[in-house]
Structure 1
Amino acid sequence: MNSRGWQEVIGAVGIFGMVIVIVTIVVWNMAATWRARAILARDYEYRTLAEKANQNQDAIERKLTDINEHLADLRTRVHSVERVLKEIE
Protein backbone atom coordinates (compact mmCIF):
# COMPACT_ATOMS: atom_id res chain seq x y z
CA MET A 1 0.00 0.00 0.00
CA ASN A 2 1.44 3.36 -0.94
CA SER A 3 1.43 6.51 1.15
CA ARG A 4 -1.71 7.77 -0.57
CA GLY A 5 -3.58 4.63 0.48
CA TRP A 6 -2.58 5.11 4.12
CA GLN A 7 -3.70 8.71 3.99
CA GLU A 8 -7.09 7.63 2.70
CA VAL A 9 -7.42 5.01 5.45
CA ILE A 10 -6.40 7.50 8.14
CA GLY A 11 -8.78 10.11 6.68
CA ALA A 12 -11.67 7.61 6.57
CA VAL A 13 -11.02 6.54 10.18
CA GLY A 14 -10.82 10.20 11.25
CA ILE A 15 -14.05 11.10 9.49
CA PHE A 16 -15.75 7.98 10.90
CA GLY A 17 -14.56 8.92 14.40
CA MET A 18 -15.76 12.49 13.98
CA VAL A 19 -19.17 11.30 12.79
CA ILE A 20 -19.42 9.01 15.84
CA VAL A 21 -18.51 11.89 18.16
CA ILE A 22 -21.05 14.22 16.54
CA VAL A 23 -23.81 11.59 16.66
CA THR A 24 -22.99 10.89 20.32
CA ILE A 25 -23.16 14.59 21.20
CA VAL A 26 -26.47 15.03 19.36
CA VAL A 27 -28.00 11.98 21.04
CA TRP A 28 -26.71 13.12 24.44
CA ASN A 29 -28.24 16.58 24.00
CA MET A 30 -31.53 15.13 22.79
CA ALA A 31 -31.66 12.84 25.83
CA ALA A 32 -30.95 15.79 28.14
CA THR A 33 -33.75 17.74 26.45
CA TRP A 34 -36.17 14.84 26.85
CA ARG A 35 -35.26 14.49 30.52
CA ALA A 36 -35.77 18.22 31.07
CA ARG A 37 -39.17 18.10 29.37
CA ALA A 38 -40.17 15.09 31.48
CA ILE A 39 -39.12 16.92 34.65
CA LEU A 40 -41.10 20.02 33.62
CA ALA A 41 -44.17 17.92 32.84
CA ARG A 42 -43.90 16.14 36.19
CA ASP A 43 -43.48 19.46 38.02
CA TYR A 44 -46.53 20.86 36.22
CA GLU A 45 -48.57 17.81 37.27
CA TYR A 46 -47.42 18.18 40.88
CA ARG A 47 -48.27 21.88 40.83
CA THR A 48 -51.72 21.13 39.43
CA LEU A 49 -52.26 18.44 42.05
CA ALA A 50 -51.18 20.81 44.83
CA GLU A 51 -53.56 23.52 43.58
CA LYS A 52 -56.45 21.05 43.52
CA ALA A 53 -55.56 19.91 47.04
CA ASN A 54 -55.60 23.53 48.24
CA GLN A 55 -58.97 24.13 46.60
CA ASN A 56 -60.38 20.99 48.17
CA GLN A 57 -58.99 22.00 51.57
CA ASP A 58 -60.64 25.41 51.27
CA ALA A 59 -63.97 23.81 50.34
CA ILE A 60 -63.75 21.42 53.29
CA GLU A 61 -62.92 24.32 55.60
CA ARG A 62 -65.99 26.24 54.41
CA LYS A 63 -68.18 23.17 54.91
CA LEU A 64 -66.80 22.62 58.40
CA THR A 65 -67.52 26.24 59.27
CA ASP A 66 -71.12 25.83 58.09
CA ILE A 67 -71.48 22.61 60.08
CA ASN A 68 -70.11 24.29 63.22
CA GLU A 69 -72.62 27.13 62.80
CA HIS A 70 -75.49 24.66 62.44
CA LEU A 71 -74.25 22.67 65.43
CA ALA A 72 -74.06 25.80 67.57
CA ASP A 73 -77.62 26.68 66.52
CA LEU A 74 -78.79 23.18 67.42
CA ARG A 75 -77.08 23.41 70.81
CA THR A 76 -78.86 26.64 71.64
CA ARG A 77 -82.19 25.17 70.55
CA VAL A 78 -81.68 21.99 72.58
CA HIS A 79 -80.64 24.08 75.57
CA SER A 80 -83.78 26.21 75.29
CA VAL A 81 -85.95 23.08 74.94
CA GLU A 82 -84.31 21.60 78.05
CA ARG A 83 -84.92 24.82 79.96
CA VAL A 84 -88.58 24.81 78.93
CA LEU A 85 -88.93 21.14 79.96
CA LYS A 86 -87.36 21.85 83.35
CA GLU A 87 -89.77 24.75 83.87
CA ILE A 88 -92.72 22.50 83.04
CA GLU A 89 -91.70 19.88 85.60
Structure 2
Amino acid sequence: MNPRDWQEVIGTAGIFGTVFVVVTIAVWNMAATWRAKAVLARDYEYRTLAEQATRHQGAIEQRLIAIDEHLADLRTRVHSVERVLKEIE
Protein backbone atom coordinates (compact mmCIF):
# COMPACT_ATOMS: atom_id res chain seq x y z
CA MET A 1 0.00 0.00 0.00
CA ASN A 2 1.20 3.44 -0.76
CA PRO A 3 0.95 6.36 1.71
CA ARG A 4 -2.14 7.72 -0.05
CA ASP A 5 -4.05 4.48 0.65
CA TRP A 6 -3.21 4.79 4.34
CA GLN A 7 -4.44 8.38 4.37
CA GLU A 8 -7.74 7.27 2.87
CA VAL A 9 -8.11 4.48 5.45
CA ILE A 10 -7.32 6.85 8.32
CA GLY A 11 -9.65 9.52 6.90
CA THR A 12 -12.49 7.02 6.45
CA ALA A 13 -11.99 5.69 9.99
CA GLY A 14 -11.96 9.25 11.31
CA ILE A 15 -15.17 10.14 9.49
CA PHE A 16 -16.92 6.97 10.71
CA GLY A 17 -15.63 7.59 14.23
CA THR A 18 -16.89 11.18 14.16
CA VAL A 19 -20.28 10.11 12.81
CA PHE A 20 -20.47 7.40 15.48
CA VAL A 21 -19.66 9.88 18.24
CA VAL A 22 -22.20 12.44 16.95
CA VAL A 23 -24.95 9.82 16.63
CA THR A 24 -24.15 8.43 20.09
CA ILE A 25 -24.32 11.90 21.66
CA ALA A 26 -27.60 12.65 19.86
CA VAL A 27 -29.18 9.37 21.00
CA TRP A 28 -27.88 9.94 24.54
CA ASN A 29 -29.44 13.41 24.64
CA MET A 30 -32.74 12.17 23.23
CA ALA A 31 -32.82 9.42 25.86
CA ALA A 32 -32.11 11.99 28.59
CA THR A 33 -34.96 14.14 27.26
CA TRP A 34 -37.33 11.16 27.25
CA ARG A 35 -36.33 10.28 30.81
CA ALA A 36 -36.89 13.87 31.93
CA LYS A 37 -40.34 13.92 30.31
CA ALA A 38 -41.20 10.63 32.00
CA VAL A 39 -40.12 12.01 35.38
CA LEU A 40 -42.22 15.14 34.84
CA ALA A 41 -45.24 13.05 33.84
CA ARG A 42 -44.80 10.83 36.89
CA ASP A 43 -44.45 13.86 39.17
CA TYR A 44 -47.61 15.35 37.67
CA GLU A 45 -49.48 12.10 38.29
CA TYR A 46 -48.26 11.98 41.90
CA ARG A 47 -49.30 15.61 42.42
CA THR A 48 -52.74 14.91 40.95
CA LEU A 49 -53.12 11.83 43.13
CA ALA A 50 -52.10 13.78 46.24
CA GLU A 51 -54.60 16.55 45.44
CA GLN A 52 -57.37 13.98 44.97
CA ALA A 53 -56.44 12.29 48.25
CA THR A 54 -56.56 15.65 50.03
CA ARG A 55 -59.98 16.44 48.58
CA HIS A 56 -61.30 13.02 49.52
CA GLN A 57 -59.90 13.38 53.02
CA GLY A 58 -61.77 16.66 53.40
CA ALA A 59 -64.99 15.01 52.22
CA ILE A 60 -64.49 12.10 54.63
CA GLU A 61 -63.85 14.54 57.46
CA GLN A 62 -67.11 16.34 56.70
CA ARG A 63 -68.97 13.02 56.66
CA LEU A 64 -67.43 12.02 59.99
CA ILE A 65 -68.49 15.34 61.51
CA ALA A 66 -72.05 14.75 60.27
CA ILE A 67 -72.01 11.20 61.66
CA ASP A 68 -70.71 12.50 64.99
CA GLU A 69 -73.57 15.01 65.12
CA HIS A 70 -76.10 12.26 64.36
CA LEU A 71 -74.60 10.05 67.06
CA ALA A 72 -74.80 12.89 69.59
CA ASP A 73 -78.44 13.38 68.65
CA LEU A 74 -79.10 9.63 69.01
CA ARG A 75 -77.40 9.60 72.42
CA THR A 76 -79.63 12.44 73.56
CA ARG A 77 -82.72 10.61 72.35
CA VAL A 78 -81.66 7.31 73.94
CA HIS A 79 -81.04 9.08 77.27
CA SER A 80 -84.48 10.66 77.01
CA VAL A 81 -86.08 7.28 76.32
CA GLU A 82 -84.16 5.75 79.25
CA ARG A 83 -85.39 8.49 81.58
CA VAL A 84 -88.95 7.97 80.42
CA LEU A 85 -88.64 4.22 80.92
CA LYS A 86 -87.21 4.71 84.41
CA GLU A 87 -90.08 7.03 85.29
CA ILE A 88 -92.57 4.46 84.03
CA GLU A 89 -91.06 1.69 86.15
Q: What range is the shorter-chain TM-score in?
A: over 0.9
Aligned to 2:84: 84
Please report how far the alpha carbon of residue 65 of structure 1 lies from its aligned counterpart in structure 2 after TM superposition: 0.4
CA distance in 1, matches of 2:85, 2:6: 116
Aligned to 1:19: 19
Identity in percent: 78
CA distance in 1, matches of 2:36, 2:85: 72
Amino acid in structure 2 at the alignment position of 1:12: T
Aligned to 1:48: 48
CA-atom RMSD in angstroms? 1.0
Alignment: residue pair count: 89
Amino acid in structure 2 at the alignment position of 1:85: L
Aligned to 1:4: 4
Moved >6 Å (runs of 4+): none
TM-score by length of 2: 0.93
Deviations 1:24-52 (A, max 9, x none): 00011111111111111111111111111
Aligned to 1:73: 73
CA distance in 1, matches of 2:84, 2:2: 122
Please report how far the alpha carbon of residue 4 of structure 1 lies from its aligned counterpart in structure 2 after TM superposition: 2.0
CA distance in 1, matches of 2:56, 2:9: 70
Amino acid in structure 2 at the alignment position of 1:74: L
Amino acid in structure 1 at the alignment position of 2:55: Q
